[in-house]
Structure 1
Amino acid sequence: MSFFTSIGSFIMQPLYYAISAVLVGWHNFWSLFFDPESGAAWVLSIVGLTLVVRAALIPLFVKQIKSSRNMQLLQPKVRELQKKYGHDRERLAQETMALYKEAGTNPFASCLPLLLQMPIFLALFRLLDQAAKNEEGRGILSDERATEFAHSELFGVQISKTFLGADGDLGVQIMAAVLVIAMLVTTFTTQRQLMTKNMPESAMSGPYAQQQKMLLYVLPVVFAIGGVAFPIGVLVYWTVSNLWTMGQQFYVIRRNPAPGTPAADAKAEREKAKAIRKGKPVPTEVVEAEEVVEDRPAPRVQPKRQTKSQRKKGPQNRGPKGS
């Protein structure tokens, strides 16, 4: 067991140095304005670390959005393959992967930002957890600064404490609970934003859509359950990261929505209104988008349910037209 622990520690060591370097750098900056031992200086340092990590992941996020959009647009073709090769799972898998390769997309690309964030998240958790419990620094975070963090307070609450380890401190429990709820709400909102605004109707069914719907409810629950064991400082990191994701996703969907989605219709309406307001001709792509919307089949009207006696009477027993 110690062998695997040593391997894990060896792998995480570079992350400890990288994360602690950014964290200490921000702490040096905020110490110019706040008491270095205050919770404000440490919380703002964690926020700064979050912004640095998320800024570094922007290229991967853009790739994730593009991959997710391509996956949505390919769903009608995927369903055709399922009808054709549903009896042969191996052939279905081969044809589906060939379709993804031809379209230049990868079903696993949408998970990359989350997967790359997890080691960073775990390293930050271990860094702050060791500082809180043992007042022991890692990377370039010295033992002295680890002790400062362990005892730092924000609004009278130690940010190194967890909800489960509050020892009856109501302030810690309230702050931790608020951050866990914020983490849950932002995760749910981000996922729902993607499904309701940037998914065409044709992609709202099938395995990919079912996967998205499952994540919509499963991820917030997972984070909520795990969040009660995270130090308040770690909850700050994850909540700020979720807010960044929500804002970044809103910007990308608004500026570059997938065709045939509510977000694309809303963008066409904005551009049309802008052109009319400035007295300019409506852009061609906006006109084409409106034509696509108009050409969409109208929703099927379900016939009214009739009683058994009404069905027996039939049309011959109904009153004359216009009566």
Structure 2
Amino acid sequence: MLNFIYYPVSFIMWVWHKAFGFIFGADAGISWVLSVIFLVFTLRAILYKPFVGQVRSMRKMQEMAPEMQRLRKKYANDRQKLTQEMQKLQAENGANPLGGCLPVLVQVPVFIGLFHVLREFKPGKTENYFFGADEVRSFVDSSFFGAKLGATVVNTQYSTVTLQELGGNLTSQLIVMIPLMILAGIFTHITARHSVARQAANPAAMANSQTAIMNKLMLYVFPIGVVVGGPFLPLAILFYWVSNNLWTLGQQYVVYKRIDAEEAEKKDKAAQNRNALAPKPGQKPNRNGSTPAEPEAVEEPETETTESAPEKKPGAKPVTKPKPGAKPVNRSGGSGGRPGGGNRTQARKGKKRR
């Protein structure tokens, strides 16, 4: 029924087992362990771009959190209108909530596929999807420090192969399994803490009650669940879980650092554009928002220099020009139309008196 999942998973694991079997030997336990680990790395490399899209979508959703909260309050009694406005806001900002779930949704069938393939490594079986009879026998007989990769410590209805059937030893199985269980829980917690720390940068997003519940589940419930559920899982699944969390930690560091650098560059460019459009000191800004023009240079009136001024003789009185419309002033201090007019008038008055 789910062969479209089982065949691709078994094929990737088969290819890596061939590669590491050439180096360490086909029956070596390390070849099978590395084939599981690199199965994880291959799938996570394929999902790298969707993961980057997930981070960008989450960042946009965090930026829209205040506006979304405002819409929830505004349309608290109209769910249909709220949904329409939310979709409109997400379309305007290019955010896709479902895009952030794609990497997680893809990993779920991979986990199920690997779990099923490992269960089918049974003694006496002639094939297991891409694996032939010799490869099935090799997996059953191989061990990693005495622990069987396909065996579980606690047998359940889903454990079709018991530790005794594979010829394993309980002590050896626990020596390898317990450290892996602890590492799986620790790495799950660290990965979740890293994601929550990124969300804490946006208080509006953290204020959502659903987000707070999910963060607590990621931080505490999931890591504890991995530790408690470890004995019920095949040993190879624990290798899968540890390697998956290690890849996630490294990928988060690289992707977040890259996105932070891009956002810092955008902020620097925006600041440079604002500074370029800002008016210079002493310059009036244009109302149309364009770059203000340079102030025009004011031509100063030409003044006569000392070279063009006429030379003054020693003892000469300064010559003053009359203002427009004013009568010229006589040199003797009187006023009149002609020079010396004031003296002649006084002389005539003197003759009449005599």
Paired residues in the alignment total 259
1:211 is displaced (CA, Å) by 4.8
CA distance in 2, matches of 1:102, 1:215: 32
2:268 — aligned with what? 285
In terms of mean alpha carbon deviation, does 164-173 or 183-192 score higher?
Answer: 164-173
1:218 is displaced (CA, Å) by 3.5
Does residue 256 (structure 1) correspond to residue 246 (structure 2)? The answer is: no
Among candidates 88, 113, 126, match of residue 78 of structure 2: 88
Does residue 241 (structure 1) correspond to residue 244 (structure 2)? The answer is: yes
Does residue 228 (structure 1) correspond to residue 231 (structure 2)? The answer is: yes
2:106 — aligned with what? 116
Q: 1:176 to 1:137 in 2, by over 3 A?
A: farther
CA RMSD of aligned residues (A): 2.8
* Equivalent pair of 1:64/1:110 in contact (CA under 8 Å): yes
1:208 is displaced (CA, Å) by 5.5
Letter paired with 1:285 = D
In terms of mean alpha carbon deviation, does 107-116 or 249-258 score higher?
Answer: 249-258
Q: Which has the higher contact order (CA 8 A, sep 6+)?
A: 1
Does residue 65 (structure 1) correspond to residue 55 (structure 2)? The answer is: yes
Among candidates 147, 158, 161, match of residue 148 of structure 2: 158
1:257-295 deviation line (CA, Å, top 9, x unaligned): 399xxxx8xxx7xx9xxxxxxxxxxx972996xxxxxxx
1:17 — aligned with what? 7
Q: 1:70 to 1:32 in 2, by over 3 A?
A: same
* Equivalent pair of 1:162/1:176 in contact (CA under 8 Å): no
TM-score by length of 1: 0.71
Does residue 145 (structure 1) correspond to residue 135 (structure 2)? The answer is: yes
Q: 1:105 to 1:62 in 2, by over 3 A?
A: same
User: Percent of pairs identical after alignment?
Assistant: 32
1:178-189 alignment to 2 at 5 Å?
Answer: 178-189=179-190
1:209 — aligned with what? 211
Does residue 43 (structure 1) correspond to residue 33 (structure 2)? The answer is: yes
1:25 is displaced (CA, Å) by 1.5
Among candidates 15, 20, 24, match of residue 30 of structure 1: 20
Letter paired with 1:35 = G
CA distance in 1, matches of 2:221, 2:90: 26
Which structure: greater helix fraction? 1
Task: Provide the secondary structure at the position in 1 that maps to 2:97.
Answer: coil
1:192 — aligned with what? 193
CA distance in 2, matches of 1:73, 1:54: 27
1:135 is displaced (CA, Å) by 4.3
CA distance in 2, matches of 1:17, 1:188: 32
